[in-house]
């Protein structure tokens, strides 16, 4: 179970590691929950989660993650908060905790497309981005 802290060193902004995870995490990446800022539902927040799916929404990236056969969602509500961890119950998502995350291993090798904000995981996408022609 990840360690809970009472305050986030006086800085309410999303920390750089968490931001990097939200921008760059892809399917199968292993993530570590480094800090539990708030535990709204008093759940056992897992130490590590694995990315199942990356979703791009109007409001920004959203990660479907899993740990110990439990499914969770990680969202980034805004620049002034840490990431939110949602857990599923009765086919609804419940806001369970506010967390900080980091990659467990080395950073993913892909860069981010400046146009659409997604990772440049294909050569075609990389080429389009290089000439400013991404149409996503």
Given the rule CB under 5 A, which residues bind Zn ion? 113, 115-116, 134, 136
CB of 26 to Zn ion, least distance (A): 14
Nearer of residues 25 and 134 to Zn ion, judged by Cβ: 134
CB-count burial class (<10 Å; 0-12, 13-18, 19+) for 95: middle
3-class state of residue 71 by DSSP: strand
Nearer of residues 31 and 134 to Zn ion, judged by Cβ: 134
CB of 37 to Zn ion, least distance (A): 32
CB-count burial class (<10 Å; 0-12, 13-18, 19+) for 121: middle
CB of 136 to Zn ion, least distance (A): 5
Nearer of residues 8 and 23 to Zn ion, judged by Cβ: 23
Token pair, residue 11, equals: 């800085």
């Amino acid at each position: 179970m990840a360690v809970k802290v009472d305050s986030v060193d006086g800085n309410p902004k999303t920390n750089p590691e968490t931001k990097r995870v939200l921008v760059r995490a892809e399917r199968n990446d292993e993530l570590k929950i480094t800090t539990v800022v708030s535990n709204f539902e008093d759940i056992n927040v897992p130490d590590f989660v694995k990315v199942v799916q990356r979703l791009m929404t109007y409001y920004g990236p959203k990660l479907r993650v899993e740990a110990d056969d439990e499914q969770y969602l990680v969202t980034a509500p805004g620049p002034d908060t840490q990431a939110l961890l949602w857990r599923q119950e009765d086919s609804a998502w419940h806001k369970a905790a506010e967390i900080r995350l980091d990659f467990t291993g080395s950073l993913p090798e892909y860069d981010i497309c400046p146009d659409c904000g997604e990772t440049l995981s294909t050569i075609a996408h990389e080429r389009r981005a290089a000439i400013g022609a991404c149409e996503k």
